[in-house]
């Protein structure tokens, strides 16, 4: 069966195929509405991961995997979850996965207080952090009582404490939402963690 379907061609199909067609059209609509579909970086194998750090202290559990899922806050059906959720007690320190440059300090309703760090072709994203975002000398700065001060443009070494687990943005409990992008593609952080573990 062809993957390109429209309503006219649906009418010519028998019912089982019609249902499959409707499912496919719904799925492609979800992909369009949620932006880019998940894609794997081809370079995971053969990389050396000894420079990488696990991104959070006091690990408790992986609470939501990367990929399509039902919306955790209800409504709107399926959504694409672009990262891995790692539960840890509120106030636990978050460590930079890799040495790099802080390219963005986020403060919005979804991610909440967050950071984007660039390391070569990779970007690592941290959401639902504690603390506040302030603008100092024209640059956004994450300030946190735990001795954290991270400013846009600064460089951070691997495993540096860059933030603490909080409850900001769209979240139902304290956890780190950790995203990884390679080029312009989201990568499943669990695959990277597995590769890091193999490298130990």
**Chain contacts with Zn ion (rule: CB under 5 A):** 83, 85, 177
Q: Closest CB to Zn ion among 83 and 100?
A: 83
Question: Of 141, 140, 142, whose CA–CA distance to 129 is shortest?
Answer: 142
Q: How far is the CB of 142 from Zn ion (least distance, A)?
A: 19
As measured in angstroms, the least distance from the Cβ of 178 to Zn ion is 8
| Closest CB 37 distance from Zn ion, rounded Å | 17
Rank residues 83 and 189 by Cβ distance to Zn ion and give the closer one. 83
Residue (96 or 171) nearer to Zn ion, CB: 171
Nearer to Zn ion, 5 or 86 (CB): 86
- DSSP annotation of 58: S
**Rounded Cα gap, residues 28 and 22, in angstroms:** 10
**Residue nearest Zn ion, Cβ-based:** 177
Q: For residue 36, what is the DSSP state?
A: S
Q: Judged by CB, which is closer to Zn ion: 65, or 99?
A: 65
User: Cβ neighbours of residue 22 under 8 Å, at least 6 residues apart?
Assistant: 10
Phi-psi region of 28 (alpha: psi -120 to 50; beta: other; left: phi over 0): alpha
Minimum distance of Zn ion from residue 76's CB (angstroms): 15
Q: Is 167 helix (H, G, I), strand (E, B) or coil?
A: coil
| Least gap, CB of 22 to Zn ion (angstroms) | 29
Give 96-143 as a DSSP string: -SSSEEEEEEEEETTTEEEEEEEETTEEEEEESBSSEEEEETTEEEEE
């Amino acid at each position: 069966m062809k993957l390109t379907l429209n309503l006219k061609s649906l009418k010519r199909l028998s019912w089982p195929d019609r249902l499959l067609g409707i499912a496919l059209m719904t799925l492609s609509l979800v992909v369009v509405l949620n932006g880019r579909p998940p894609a794997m970086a081809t370079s995971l194998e053969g990389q050396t991961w000894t420079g990488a750090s696990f991104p959070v202290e006091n690990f408790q559990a992986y609470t939501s995997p990367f990929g399509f899922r039902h919306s955790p806050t209800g409504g709107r059906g399926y959504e694409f979850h672009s990262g891995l959720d790692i539960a840890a007690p509120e106030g636990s320190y978050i460590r930079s996965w890799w040495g790099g440059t802080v390219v963005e300090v986020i403060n919005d309703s979804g991610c909440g207080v967050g950071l984007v760090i660039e390391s070569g072709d990779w970007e690592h994203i941290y959401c639902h952090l504690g603390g506040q975002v302030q603008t100092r000398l024209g640059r956004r700065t994450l300030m946190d009582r735990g001795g954290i001060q991270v400013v846009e443009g600064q460089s951070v070494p691997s495993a540096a404490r860059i933030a603490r687990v909080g409850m900001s943005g769209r979240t139902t409990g304290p956890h780190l939402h950790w995203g990884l992008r390679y080029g312009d593609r989201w990568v499943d952080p669990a695959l990277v963690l597995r590769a890091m573990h193999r490298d130990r």
